[in-house]
Chain A
Amino acid sequence: MSDPALVHDVSIDGPAVHCLVVGCGAYTHLPGGSGQEMADPGGMGQLTSPPQSARAIADWLIQTCRSDKPLGTVSLLLSDVQEIAYTNPVTGVDHDVPPADSAHVDTAVLEWAQRGMADSGNRMIFFFSGHGLVAGVTTSLLLSDFGAHPLNRFKGALDFEGLVRGMTSTTATEQLFIVDVCRVSTARRLLADAKFFGIVPLEESPRDPAADRPQQAVLYSTVAGEKAYGMPGAASVYTKALIAALNGAGSQQMEEDVRRWRVDPHLLDRAVFKILKRRCEAGFDDAPSQQNSNQHLATFPIHDLEGRPRLPVFVRCAGNNENSLAEFACITGDTQLACREAGHAEDWELELEQGEYTFQASFPTTGELRSASTPVLPAYGSVSLGST
């Protein structure tokens, strides 16, 4: 493996899937970082969720992702306040992955794009999690050395729009970009005077007039503030929803074979949106601002499920403030699959395979038992248990 960012590399003869995953949580020049603190950090600090998000996505790609094209490579860059080792979940091999700084990201993007050029049928997947300066039509993804250069802080950032445009010059015809950023409230001010928004590893060059333009799909979410972005040390709220969507919430039966389920960018984007909205209604999270770039949302397979989809299911009592009084249970046939004790105000969230289930809410103080049987389908199941 010549590229130090590669954590998974399978030689494929023909079209394959090539992934680049970046998780940046440790920022050398932001407050709490290991280097000299930059002037005017704009309220930003260290993050713990992005490296966990990146690991979760890398794990999912290596362990789970299956489609009409085999997985070729996964490269990973992490800047983590704790550790940067990554263990490939399939091979068991440990990798000391490069940090998510501008030099290594620059190289990793070029290597990734070069791998994509090997076959025009290649599918390219890019994932970034970390701080982002997002305002208007500008998205600057902040890398671990953001602020290292006092005269040009954006030398430590990746110009996301520039990356997407640059990739149109490559020959890989299917390209998926997923950006999960912790939005900085001072972004407008920090971007306002800038003329440069980050490194642009790939030059946008005129394409062969006869060649097909790559089909690009761009999904991104911005969540303001670290608290809403994710629990400390856990993958972000968006990434969790993304993985739930990849595992089935964003799938649809294939027309040619209704026993098979497929995830594509449209379904994925919509399922993440729905899950985040439902979680907000369930009392788990504040509503994130999911900004669909709209400009690119092509359709191509991302993942073909093995078996039936697994789906988030939200169970609640119909009356106000009843959730915390009820003990919940989920039953299939004669088997209780899961249960929750009383004392939780939010809806009960569980994950189930697509199918039909019985849900119960029992009230220990009154002896009341409520029950409903219902099918669970993508994008999620939602059960409201009312008194009869």
Chain B
Amino acid sequence: MTDDKTDTALIELSAYVYFDGPGAPDFGERLVLLGNLFPLEGGTARRGIMVPTGSSGAGVTVPVEPGRYICEVELPSGDLARNEVDAVAGETTPVVIDIDHSPYETHAWQFLMGAVESRDVYHSRRASRSSPTPDVRWYVGPSDAPGWSIPDPDHPLRGDDDMNHWASVQPVQADEATLVYRFVGNGPVQKALGAGGRRRFCSVRVGRRRYLVTLPAPWVDLETDNQCPTEMMVDPDAQSGRSPISVTVRDPRLGGGLGYFATGSLDLAVQMFADVEGMLYEKMVNPLAAAAGGYALVGTDDGRVRQRWYPWLDNLGNWQSWLPDGLILAATRRLRQPMAGERRQEAREMLVESLAKGVPMYTIGLRWLMDGLSAFAGDPEVDAAIAAVRNYSYRVDMTQPFVIARLDEAMW
């Protein structure tokens, strides 16, 4: 392979992983993750390269000065994967970094996101499941069921316990330790069940433990308008430090950003969301993704320069009235900026209003809701809201990006 510019070298960078999914092997997905190039003979590192992953297809081509480089992919899980390459002037050098260390192909996405250990650790430390097989159900009840709100502190979780409103769901994969479930907007990928309302919820019961899982579905691919599956892994015997339930979205373009977001790397997440900023907010075809992008943008904004996306957050709150996260974002953005009393009061009203719309989709939303409400402590209405959010949060797995609440009393 040659290149016309003989004083420049090209590195074609990709990462190898074999995904298994519904329908076809490899699922046709090319999850994008962030990569870096470090020159070993002096010069400036190249960061934030969008690196396609998968088992086939071209990589991203990066022009560089000829020389030796370390090519690196940053996995949302916190793992680093690297290859060394000698980039030759006038040539394109392909570099494929192996990130295929998942315990199973079905777990590949969860592995990259950090929800499950690498193959070696998983198989050396895991014993067979000792907990009962989880009972997983998809909510198909009425859209106005009261269970999804954060109501009053005395009844933090009025759930919909009518079992006619919950349809049983089977995993797409189960091994000796974990079970994987996949959903789209109208139910598990194996069978359409319909849905109760705009929000999607699952109930997961493992013995005496019961969890209410907020599912980010339907999740629409911004480019294709197709639905991306939402994946839930249940690890009934999760050891301390690991979550028994983890939820990810198999969105090729934004799944990586969600993964960085989930592990607190907002600066990396914002790079991926900024790449599609306009698509997120102008088309508004995926309000759930728009909210995630909003959290990353607000979370990394120093408030010193007015950003063009400020009004888009208000649109998200106004146009997607079923999603409390939009109001939380718009309020937080106001509170983090120098402002006059009138704008401050707007923020208060938004936060209180968001509470009435139910549980935020994102766990970070609970934190920001609490943080925002606390700015108005002393106001009786706000104090009641603070108590309700605080009590609810005790049940939530704060390490997970989407709200997963434990409902049973055994947790105390």
Chain A interfacial positions (CB closer than 8 Å to B): 135-138, 161, 165, 188-189, 191-192, 195, 204, 207-213, 215, 223-225, 228, 252-253, 255, 258, 266, 269-270, 273-274, 277-278, 280-281, 286-299, 320, 356, 374-375, 377, 379-380, 382
**Which of chain A's residues have a CB closer than 8 A to the CB of B78?**
270, 273-274, 277-278
Digit string of B331-374 for contact with A (CB within 8 Å is 1, else 0)?
00000111111000000000000000000000010111011001
The stretch from B23-31, B116-124, B138-146, B162-170 touching chain A is B116-124
**Which of chain A's residues have a CB closer than 8 A to the CB of B200?**
none
A224 to B374, CA, bound (A): 28
A320 to B120, CA, bound (A): 9
Q: Does B304 contact A (CB under 8 A)?
A: yes
A252 to B396, CA, bound (A): 35
**Which of chain A's residues have a CB closer than 8 A to the CB of B394?**
135-136, 138, 188, 191-192
Digit string of B70-88 for contact with A (CB within 8 Å is 1, else 0)?
1010000111101010000
**A136 contact from B374, B398, B412, Cβ within 8 A:** B398
**Which of chain A's residues have a CB closer than 8 A to the CB of B336?**
213
**Which of chain B's residues have a CB closer than 8 A to the CB of A273?**
78, 263-264
Q: What is the CB-to-nearest-CB distance from A329 to chain B, in angstroms, rounded to a whole number?
A: 21
Query: Quick check: A294 and B364 within 8 Å, CB to CB?
Result: yes
Q: What is the CB-to-nearest-CB distance from A34 to chain B, in angstroms, rounded to a whole number?
A: 30
Query: Quick check: A375 and B40 within 8 Å, CB to CB?
Result: yes
**B79 contact from A138, A212, A277, A291, Cβ within 8 A:** A277
Query: Quick check: A258 and B412 within 8 Å, CB to CB?
Result: no
Q: Does B45 contact A (CB under 8 A)?
A: yes
Query: Quick check: B393 and A228 within 8 Å, CB to CB?
Result: no
Q: What is the CB-to-nearest-CB distance from A321 to chain B, in angstroms, rounded to a whole number?
A: 9
Query: Quick check: A224 and B398 within 8 Å, CB to CB?
Result: no
Q: What is the CB-to-nearest-CB distance from A268 to chain B, in angstroms, rounded to a whole number?
A: 11
Query: Quick check: B393 and A212 within 8 Å, CB to CB?
Result: no
Q: Number of A-B pairs whose CB atoms are under 8 Å?
A: 147
**Which of chain B's residues have a CB closer than 8 A to the CB of A189?**
412
Query: Quick check: B303 and A294 within 8 Å, CB to CB?
Result: no
Query: Quick check: B70 and A375 within 8 Å, CB to CB?
Result: yes
**Further contacts, 13 of them, CB under 8 A, given A297-B267, A377-B82, A382-B80:** A135-B393, A136-B394, A137-B370, A138-B394, A161-B374, A209-B341, A228-B240, A266-B265, A287-B241, A292-B263, A296-B299, A297-B266, A374-B84
Query: Quick check: B338 and A207 within 8 Å, CB to CB?
Result: yes
Query: Quick check: A292 and B70 within 8 Å, CB to CB?
Result: no
In the complex formed, the residue of B with least CB distance to A272 is B78
Query: Quick check: B266 and A137 within 8 Å, CB to CB?
Result: no
Query: Quick check: A258 and B44 within 8 Å, CB to CB?
Result: yes
Query: Quick check: B267 and A356 within 8 Å, CB to CB?
Result: no
Query: Quick check: B70 and A136 within 8 Å, CB to CB?
Result: no
Can you offer 10 A-B residue contacts whose CB atoms are under 8 A? A136-B395, A137-B398, A161-B370, A195-B387, A258-B44, A270-B264, A274-B80, A278-B79, A286-B239, A294-B299
**A137 contact from B77, B303, B338, B390, Cβ within 8 A:** B390
A253 to B79, CA, bound (A): 20
**Which of chain B's residues have a CB closer than 8 A to the CB of A297?**
264, 266-267, 299-300
Q: Does B392 contact A (CB under 8 A)?
A: yes
Most buried by B among A191, A195, A215, A297: A297
Query: Quick check: B45 and A253 within 8 Å, CB to CB?
Result: yes
A192 to B304, CA, bound (A): 39
Q: Does B43 contact A (CB under 8 A)?
A: yes
- Residues from 5 to 36 in B contacting A, C-beta threshold 8 Å: none
A136 to B367, CA, bound (A): 8
A212 to B338, CA, bound (A): 6
Contact A224 to B42, CB < 8 A, known contacts A136-B390, A277-B79, A320-B124 = no
In the complex formed, the residue of A with least CB distance to B302 is A215
Query: Quick check: B242 and A287 within 8 Å, CB to CB?
Result: yes
Q: Does B312 contact A (CB under 8 A)?
A: no
Query: Quick check: A138 and B390 within 8 Å, CB to CB?
Result: yes
Q: Does B95 contact A (CB under 8 A)?
A: no
Q: What is the CB-to-nearest-CB distance from B216 to chain A, in angstroms, rounded to a whole number?
A: 17
In the complex formed, the residue of B with least CB distance to A282 is B121
Q: What is the CB-to-nearest-CB distance from B69 to chain A, in angstroms, rounded to a whole number?
A: 10
Most buried by A among B336, B339, B371, B399: B371
Contact A192 to B80, CB < 8 A, known contacts A138-B390, A273-B263 = no
Q: Does B1 contact A (CB under 8 A)?
A: no
Q: What is the CB-to-nearest-CB distance from A271 to chain B, in angstroms, rounded to a whole number?
A: 10
Contact A192 to B370, CB < 8 A, known contacts A210-B338, A289-B399 = no
Q: What is the CB-to-nearest-CB distance from A185 to chain B, in angstroms, rounded to a whole number?
A: 8
A291 to B411, CA, bound (A): 20
Digit string of B266-298 for contact with A (CB within 8 Å is 1, else 0)?
111000000000000000000000000001000
Chain B interface residue count: which class?
35 or more
**A293 contact from B43, B79, B367, B393, Cβ within 8 A:** B367
Q: Does B38 contact A (CB under 8 A)?
A: yes
Contact A136 to B368, CB < 8 A, known contacts A253-B45, A258-B44, A320-B124 = no
The 7 closest A-B pairs by CB, nearest first: A136-B393, A292-B264, A287-B241, A277-B78, A137-B370, A137-B393, A136-B394
Q: What is the CB-to-nearest-CB distance from B392 to chain A, in angstroms, rounded to a whole number?
A: 7
Contact A299 to B266, CB < 8 A, known contacts A287-B241, A293-B367 = no
Q: Does B62 contact A (CB under 8 A)?
A: no
Q: Does B192 contact A (CB under 8 A)?
A: no
- Residues from 46 to 86 in B contacting A, C-beta threshold 8 Å: 70, 72, 77-80, 82, 84
Digit string of B90-124 for contact with A (CB within 8 Å is 1, else 0)?
00000000000000000000000010011011001
Q: Does B375 contact A (CB under 8 A)?
A: yes
Q: What is the CB-to-nearest-CB distance from B187 to chain A, in angstroms, rounded to a whole number?
A: 30
Query: Quick check: A295 and B299 within 8 Å, CB to CB?
Result: yes
Most buried by A among B336, B387, B390, B399: B390
**Which of chain A's residues have a CB closer than 8 A to the CB of B339?**
209
Query: Quick check: A379 and B80 within 8 Å, CB to CB?
Result: yes
A204 to B373, CA, bound (A): 13
**Which of chain B's residues have a CB closer than 8 A to the CB of A356?**
40
A224 to B241, CA, bound (A): 7
**Which of chain B's residues have a CB closer than 8 A to the CB of A287?**
239, 241-242
Query: Quick check: B267 and A281 within 8 Å, CB to CB?
Result: no
Query: Quick check: B240 and A277 within 8 Å, CB to CB?
Result: no
**Which of chain B's residues have a CB closer than 8 A to the CB of A296?**
299
Q: Does B389 contact A (CB under 8 A)?
A: yes
In the complex formed, the residue of B with least CB distance to A296 is B299
In the complex formed, the residue of B with least CB distance to A187 is B394
Query: Quick check: B412 and A192 within 8 Å, CB to CB?
Result: yes
In the complex formed, the residue of B with least CB distance to A300 is B302
**Which of chain B's residues have a CB closer than 8 A to the CB of A252?**
45
A266 to B261, CA, bound (A): 12
In the complex formed, the residue of B with least CB distance to A197 is B390
A299 to B265, CA, bound (A): 12
A289 to B244, CA, bound (A): 13
Contact A281 to B118, CB < 8 A, known contacts A135-B393, A297-B300 = yes
**Which of chain B's residues have a CB closer than 8 A to the CB of A286?**
239-241
Query: Quick check: A291 and B241 within 8 Å, CB to CB?
Result: no
**Which of chain A's residues have a CB closer than 8 A to the CB of B375?**
165, 204
**B38 contact from A191, A210, A278, A377, Cβ within 8 A:** A377
Query: Quick check: B393 and A294 within 8 Å, CB to CB?
Result: no
A277 to B77, CA, bound (A): 9
